[in-house]
Amino acid sequence: MGSSRIRIMSIVGARPNMMKIAPLMAELRLDRDVEPILVHTGQHYDYSMSQVFFDQLRMPQPDFNLGVGSGKHHEQTAEIMRRFGELVESHRPDMVVVAGDVNSTVACALVAARESIPVAHVEAGLRSFDRSMPEELNRILTDRLADLLFTTEESAHLHLADEGIAPEKVFFVGNLMIDSLVAALRQPRELSLRSELELQPRTYAVLTLHRPANVDDPLHLAATLDAVARLAKRLPVIFPAHPRTAAIIGAAGLSAVRAWRGGPIDEPALWMMPPASYLDFLDLMQHAELVMTDSGGVQEETTYLGVPCLTYRNNTERPVTVSEGTNQVVGCDPDRLLNMAFNVIGKRRPARTVPPLWDGRAAGRIVPILKGSCERNLDREAERVPF
């Protein structure tokens, strides 16, 4: 291989990507043979959904921001492809790294593959087997395009093998999201949202909802929030609402939630507030009695933290959070969610267990694989160049 540095381009678009790419960027920057390049597609773009994560994850500012913004799935995916295509034509990397299952993931993977640039997929092989979820289609397509597939749990290997992915492409490395979580827990903090709310450990629950199946139908969303509001008569429920979810609640005039205006939580209720920062949300989860969610990442984070989690979906692409963690998949029936929540609160928790390789060191296992693959590709290209 020549003396030039290996150019590895990592993509973030939505905030779950940021927790996965931040530790990888930090590890890449330690290697003098590597030129790490960070691209933000702008899929999530306001401060609460984007910039605060760069700040708190101690992530470098993006080398390129495509500024795509929101839109329908197909429109957003197409615009990411158009803008990212222009970028890679002028700044060709040796490898493109994508993470997770958002529109930015599949769009950038497809562009790279069409440009004959190797693709690495972080968090490969996860499957819900529900193709009505946009994320499931994004996962499947990205894995078919990827040259390197980095997995977080054993089930992913079984899925990829069933789909005919060559085993030499697949590497069990652990969970980059847990790398970020472990690093965040080490950060000293004097003030937090929880301290402003004056919430003591295990005296409240946390709710997150953002998936279209749960929030797009106002009647279903109303029934869900009504059920959670009944739980909130027993203990406060903190609801940092995704902007899209909050807009639907406002447009439908749903009355089950109370809008938090700042200051302490002084009575049990379902309290809706703006999205919490990464560190604030981790702190809220870590000390909650219960977390209710439809988020994949929250299932993983609560498993590591040992906090009971009820997943308000009919399936999960992260079965290790059920088999070895604290997660229970409860379906999308509001009454069942309420009953399961009452069954959890106030109960003694089992001993905390953590899935294999969820140890905060996944990035250190990934970087040598990325670098070695790039070096081999460059050596092969050099051999093909005629003298």
Domain that holds residue 56: 6-174+358-384
Task: Supply the CATH number for residue 214's domain.
Answer: 3.40.50.2000
- Kindly state whether residues 279 and 249 are assigned to the same domain: yes
| Whole-number CA gyration radius for the chain | 21
Q: Which of 146, 145, 169 is nearest to 157 (CA)?
A: 169
Which of 264-285 are b and which e, b meaning 16 or more Cβ less than 10 Å from the residue's Cβ? ebeebbbbbbebbbbbbbbbbb
pLDDT tens, residue by residue, 351-379: 889 999 999 999 999 999 999 999 999 88
- Are 135 and 101 contacting, i.e. CB atoms less than 8 angstroms apart? yes
- The predicted model gives 121-148 an average pLDDT of 96
Task: Decide: helix, strand or coil at residue 210.
Answer: coil
- Strands in the chain per DSSP E: 6-12, 34-40, 64-65, 95-99, 119-122, 148-151, 170-172, 205-207, 237-240, 258-259, 270-273, 290-293, 309-311, 327-329
- Say what the pLDDT of residue 2 is: 46
The two structure tokens encoding residue 117: 């640039």
Residue closest to 108 by CA, chosen among 123, 125, 96: 96
pLDDT tens-digit readout, 241-292 = 988 899 999 999 999 999 999 999 989 999 999 999 999 999 999 999 999 9
Structural domain includes residue 126: yes
Instruction: Report, as an integer, the average pLDDT of 199-204.
Output: 97
Same-domain pairing of 230 and 321 = yes
State the CB neighbour count (10 A cutoff) for residue 86. Answer: 12
Measured between alpha carbons, how far is 347 from 364 in angstroms, rounded to an integer? 38
By three-state DSSP, how is residue 263 classified?
coil
Residues 283, 167 share a domain:
no
Would you tell me how many other CB atoms lie within 10 Å of the CB of residue 305? 20
> Number of folded domains in the chain?
2
Span 50-68, average pLDDT: 85
How far apart (Å, rounded) are the C-alpha atoms in residues 375 and 94? Answer: 9
Enter the pTM of the model. Answer: 0.93
Place of tokens 């990829």: 160
pLDDT of 190 strictly over 80? no
Q: Say yes or no: 283 and 363 in one domain.
A: no
Q: Do 11 and 151 fall within a single domain? A: yes
Catalytic: which of 157, 210, 220, 287?
210
Considering the domain architecture, whether residues 158 and 66 belong to the same structural domain is answered as yes
Helices assigned H by DSSP within 38-128 = 51-56, 73-90, 103-114
| Residue 245 located in a structural domain | yes
* Coil vs helix vs strand at 385: coil
Which region holds residue 48: left if phi is over 0, alpha if psi is between -120 and 50, else beta?
alpha
Based on the residue annotation, tell me whether 210 is a catalytic residue of this protein. Answer: yes
